[in-house]
Each structure stands twice: as structure tokens, then as C-alpha cells.
Amino acid sequence: MDPSTTGVFSSEGVPVKERFDCWRELVSRTRDSEVTSDHREDFRAEMRRLELGPVTLLRTSFPPTRFHRTARRVRRSDPEAFHLTLLLDGGFTLTRDTGRTETFGPGNLHMLDSSHPFDLRAFGSRAARAPGDLRIEAVGVDFPLALLPVPPHRLEDLLGRGFSSREGSCALLSEFLLGLDRQAAALGPTETPRLGGIVVDLVAAWLARELDAEAAVPDDTRQRALVENVRAFVGRHLHDPELTPAVIAAAHHISVSYLHRLFARQSGGETVAAFVRRRRLEKAHRDLADPALRALPVHAVATRCGLPRAAEFSRAFKAAYGLSPREHRHLALAGTANG
């Protein structure tokens, strides 16, 4: 079997004796190391790879495994790449060439580079009911060192450390990676290189904040990261009918005029108000088609999306989708029932 560089791998479709080697070969395309596992005789794993220009997004699920990048391996071949990993379930114990060992749990994010040896041992969730249920779930991104505007030597103290994915700019980066993973199947070839650039911008903004070195990051990078921060903020507050450009600007400590200029420059001319309106309508469109919300009245769905004025919501929805909210719900739920 020759897995494609972009796509989904599942061990279920591979002969048992070939599963581990096939999965290991996929991992080694961007994370070259000696990979071993006590579960290789019945290795059940899944992986989704998404190429975002020079950035590779990996979503993996696998049993306890060891990844050992030796000094000899580094000397033999060094792609000079960063490896960023967000652990979703299970645990990691990482030992770097400095001798420092750290253990990471769900919600931790850490970064390594290919230029230094490391020994990473992945172990299953302690909540697993049986040994066969032990799983590690993670989302990672790999990209060339040269893409980061922060000099590699400045990052030495950050490599191999665990960071909470629930705090500050690290939370924004983690949310973006998880969103990419959820939308991977729907992304088109024209979108992916741009999204790869956004990933690098968010990584750069996060690292610069950790280093207190925002001045080292180019203005364009900071601005793109700020716009992504605004978009994430809007997504979290769609329910609030008072979500205005003034509120958004104040939350990000910038002026309304600067927010408008920045957003229009980074969003193809779309205004902040138009973006908020579009996201609200998109959420209403999804919620009205959700069977779990079929008992919720249309006006209540609209209110949940920050659109409390029924007549205004109905007009905007029909202008955007060609159907009234009720018509859309009826067709969507009828299709679900027939399916």
C-alpha cells in the first residue's frame, strides 16, 4: 500500500501485519524518528494528513508508541522543521537532549524541532477500561523553521515545554488547529495554502508573546494574527446581540477605525459588521438543519445566533439562502428523516 501524502489512513483497511509499518511510514514523512510499539502485532491507528502549502496538519489516533530521534538520525538527515503537537487524549513523556524530562496530558501543547534529538513516549489514557482501549489522540502541525520570523536560537527555552491550550494566544492557536481538523474534508485546494500561512502567523504570534518579543514579528504577521483573534472572538460571542464593532475593538484594545481598516485589508474588503452578520446566518442555517434542535422554535434559534428581530432575521436569511428559515428547516429535516 502506498498512502497518499494528503488524505485519510485507517488501519482497518490494511492487512494486520502491514498496519504498523504503513502508519510509521506516514508519520516519518514529516517526523523522522525510530518508531516502536508493543502493539505492532495488532496496531489499530488512524491518521488524517492535510497539506496546507508548506505546512502539514496531522490528526492521529494510535496505541502507546515510542518516537526516538537519535543524534545519529539528526546528523544523517535534518529537514529543519518544527513539530507542534496538541494532545487531546492520553499522555506524553518527553526527554530532550538537554536531559530535561516533562510529562504532558490532554490539553497540553508542545513544540520540538528536527535539529535536536528527543525521546517521546506516548501512553494511553488512564481512564481506559482495558489495555486494548489505550489510545493517544493528537493534532499536530509540521512546517519549515525558515517560515518563522522568530530566530530559532530564541526558541531554545520553549522547545519541549508544555503549554496550556486554554490560555491566551495559545488557546487561539489550538482552537484554529481543531477547527482546521473539523473542516479538513470540506477545504478546497485554493484555500489550503492561505490557511497554512495563518497557522504560521498564529504560531509566530504565540511564540513572540511567550518570549516578550512582539517587536521581532513583522507587522503583517501580527495583523493577520490579530484578525484571526477577532474572528475567534466573534465566533464565541455570536449569541450576543450587542456584538458591535465598538465592542470587538474594545475587547482587543484597538480603535474602531483601526479595526475597520485592518479587517477590510485582511478579509478581501468584507466589513466587520458584514462578517458578524454572515457568521450569525451561517450558524442559524446549521442549527435549523440540526435534528437535535427541531423542537426549538425558529425565533429561538435566531435569538441564539444574536438575531432577535424575527422579521429582520427572516428577510436576511431568505436573501442569503433563497429560502425562508421555516422552508430551509422543513427541507433539511425531511431529508434527514428520509435518510
pLDDT at 3: 36
pLDDT at 334: 86
| Residue, of 24 and 228, whose pLDDT is higher | 24
Mean residue pLDDT across the chain: 88
Report the C-alpha gap between 263 and 308 in whole angstroms: 26
Closest residue by Cα to residue 61 from 96, 127, 12: 12
Cell 437535535: give the residue: 292
Closest residue by Cα to residue 288 from 330, 249, 258: 330
- Domain definitions of the chain by residue range: 7-164, 245-338
| Residue, of 220 and 85, whose pLDDT is higher | 85
Longest C-alpha distance within the chain, in Å? 69
Q: Which CATH code fits 7-164? A: 2.60.120.10
Grid cell digits, residue 319: 436573501
pLDDT at 324: 95
Q: Using pLDDT thresholds of 50, 70 and 90, give the confidence band for residue 2.
A: very low
Tens-digit pLDDT profile for residues 321-334: 999 999 999 999 98
For the ranges 126-130, 184-188, 279-283, the lowest mean pLDDT is seen at 126-130
Report the C-alpha gap between 318 and 74 in whole angstroms: 58
Report the C-alpha gap between 205 and 90 in whole angstroms: 28
pLDDT over 60 at 150, yes or no: yes
Report the C-alpha gap between 205 and 213 in whole angstroms: 9
- Cβ contacts of 284 within 8 Å, gap of 6 or more: 301, 302, 305, 307, 313, 317, 325
For the ranges 123-132, 156-165, 241-250, 329-338, the lowest mean pLDDT is seen at 123-132
Cell 479595526: give the residue: 259
Tell me the average pLDDT across 184-206. Answer: 84
CA distances from 336 to 132, 292, 294, 331, 339 (A): 35, 11, 11, 9, 5
pLDDT at 32: 92
pLDDT over 70 at 4, yes or no: no
Grid cell digits, residue 79: 529537514
Tell me the average pLDDT across 31-35. Answer: 94
Q: What is the pTM of this model?
A: 0.72
pLDDT at 125: 72
Q: Please, what CATH class does the domain formed by 245-338 belong to?
A: mainly alpha
Report the C-alpha gap between 204 and 15 in whole angstroms: 41
pLDDT over 60 at 337, yes or no: no
Grid cell digits, residue 286: 446549521
Tens-digit pLDDT profile for residues 102-145: 999 999 999 999 999 999 999 987 555 555 578 899 999 999 99
pLDDT over 80 at 310, yes or no: yes
| Residue, of 108 and 187, whose pLDDT is higher | 108
pLDDT over 80 at 173, yes or no: yes
Closest residue by Cα to residue 334 from 300, 289, 284: 289
Tell me the average pLDDT across 270-287. Answer: 93
